[in-house]
Amino acid sequence: RYNTKSFITIKIKTEFQKKMADSWLKDLQSQICKEFEILEKGRKKFVKRDWCKEDKKEGGGTSFMMLNGSIFEKVGVNKSTVSGKFKKKFRSKILGANKDGKYWASGISVVAHMKNPKIPAFHFNTRFIVTSKEWFGGGMDVTPSHEDKEEKLYVHDELKKVCLHNKKNYKNYKNWCDKYFYLPHRNEARGIGGIFFDYETQNWNNNFKFVRELGLTFIDISKSVIEKKKSLKWAKKDKNKQLIKRGRYVEFNLLYDRGTKFGLNTGGNTESILMSLPPQANWK
């Protein structure tokens, strides 16, 4: 027998979870922008831009962009909350997408390309998606153009800590990240990796706690690395090396990135979706 009371209870619970996740992501966006502006010491500020889907009832997002700073050559901090129906050809690629293709999604994406080539590029994103199922996904990875073994150890140690603290399998997440952020046409990794996860459907409270702590860990890691390296001297050859590495970044994001594909297939804002692309890049 169809249990109406149970259905209503589940629906109310899901709506509450959506509001909680959406509220936190908005707050995290604000925190990241604040901390990055502090690093710029007031010399540069983020520029805010709001956008809506063609059908405004299906939501939209807010993009914050900073260009040509003393630290950040380009950094975007985007948050969106959207709903609608997946295209038929895209539904098979989404967990829980039924024949009606209905979805709701809230997420944040951060990509920072640095002026000083000795400082790596940073990427972080997390999202909560609801179809006939509901799950968290996301991760963080770092893309340097100059090798620094100590920095690599620091990044992975911090990510390992947040995983262990939340009883998450760091090794699996690290391996997933290494496999995901890989350019098969060049047979090379995009950077030094990090962690990546998706389809976290079990224990909503624990997963929500984990993505919150991961967001704060991203802030701590990026600030620590930037503070340590922001005064390092660099030459034109260092910048050229960074620009070549950025070319690899472009290739990955246009050919393989799931977030790019998700945004383009759900009527997202093109400028916000392609925010991850660097201001300049070179190819040999």
Residues 6+ apart with CB under 8 A from 206: 166, 167
Residues linked to residue 123 through DSSP beta bridges, in sequence order? 111, 141
At which residue do the structure tokens 């690395």 appear? 225
Distance CA 8, CA 26 (A): 27
CB environment 22-48: b (16+ within 10 A), e (fewer): bebbeebbeebbeebbebbeeebebee
Cite the active site residues.
Answer: 123
User: In sequence order, what E strands does the chain have?
Assistant: 47-52, 59-67, 72-85, 102-114, 121-130, 134-143, 182-183, 188-189, 193-200
Residue among 219, 158, 229, 159 at smallest CA distance from 35: 219
Distance CA 209, CA 254 (A): 31
Q: With contact defined as beta carbons under 8 Å apart, do 17 and 128 qualify?
A: yes
